[in-house]
Amino acid sequence: MGIAVALIVQGGQMMLVLLLAPLLTGLVRKIKARLLRRQGPSVIQPYRDLLRLLRKEVVLAQTASPVFRAAPYVIFAAIWVAAALVPTFATGLMFSWSADLIAIVALLGTARFMLALAGLDVGTSFGGIGSSREMMIASLAEPAMLMVVFTLSLVAQTTQLSSIARFMLEHSVGLRVSLAMAVVALLMVAIAENARIPVDNPATHLELTMVHEAMVLEYSGRHLAMIELGAALKLLLYVSLIGCLFLPWGLARAGDDPSAYLLAILLYLAKLAAGGGLLAVFETSIAKMRVFRVPEFLGAALMLGLLAALLLFVSKSF
């Protein structure tokens, strides 16, 4: 009985993130369009796009190797596993023991590595530019992310996501300037990782400064569908991650009755909508920065992460 319920909840969480991811992307696009006083496509447009792409045939370059064909599935699988590990509406799930923050960073790193390889594989110069830029961004975003992880694990004494969320919920953490810095650093990393506006423009692939779109330019059909779904899942992952680490209220715990789970799911949806809305407002209100400013932006995130850990070290020593 217990195992069956745990399996259902865990499976439900995996399907939930998969089903919600395109909706979140659609919501962000819709709000952005409305802010620009455009009508904008429907919120469910990303689902239609994915279906259309799945039905279309795949066009492969002659120079494409098996890596190019395998990469979309590896990327999608890695991001899906990472997104399914983040506690969205409940802690203490069946696989929560493996939901280690460092493991999630590693899974995302794997996905990024495969994407960069795929960008290089066909041999177009555009893909190469995209890959090299992606690596430049990653070389700063990943250490910044790890510093945030260290700060959180110093506070909560664990790197397991589920336990961190429980800790934040149950202990009064007090006024922690380190956590404020960590959340700002995590937001900056999230913006860079999801190719959102100050770093990259997700809405176009007609720009010379683009990063993500340059790498996936050669993909078509179901391969492109996998990559787009992966990108949507990644956005959902970061919003859920920030939600469960810094706003963990309303998370259900293992053994709660179904109504608690239902309430937690509704709260999670509200958190997602709020996150998407804030992202849209933020993206509309600022301009894209030059590519060579991006290291400074991410350097600031890294600096905030390092400083957060250092300050925590000072306040912990008393």
Helix axes 161-170, 125-156, angle to 10 degrees: 50
**If you write DSSP's letter for every residue of 128-183 in order, what string do you get?**
HHHHHHHHHHHHHHHHHHHHHHHHHHHHHS--BHHHHHHHHHHS---S-HHHHHHH
Shortest distance in whole angstroms from residue 302 CB to another protein: 8
Write the single-letter amino acid at 240. Answer: S
Q: Write the interaction track for another protein spanning residues 276-295; mark x where CB under 8 A is met and - where it is not.
A: -------------------x
Q: How many chain residues touch another protein (CB under 8 A)?
A: 21
State whether the Cα torsion 163-169-175-178 is positive or negative: positive
Q: Is 299 a binder of another protein (CB under 8 A)?
A: yes
Stretch that binds another protein, among 58-66, 94-102, 258-266, 305-313 (CB under 8 A): 305-313
In this structure, what are the phi and psi dihedrals at residue 63, rounded to the nearest 5 degrees? -85, 0
Residue 306 CB, nearest distance to another protein (Å)? 5
| Binder among 35, 117, 242, 306 for another protein (CB under 8 A) | 306
- Residue closer to another protein (CB basis): 77 or 307: 307
Identify which of residues 14 and 308 has a Cβ nearer to another protein in the complex.
308
170 binds another protein (CB under 8 A): no
Kindly tell me which residue out of 7, 15, 177, 262 binds another protein, with binding defined by CB under 8 A. Answer: 177
Task: Report the Cα 309 to chain-centroid distance in Å.
Answer: 22
CA distance from start to end of the chain: 47
**By the rule CB under 8 A, 139 interacts with another protein:** no
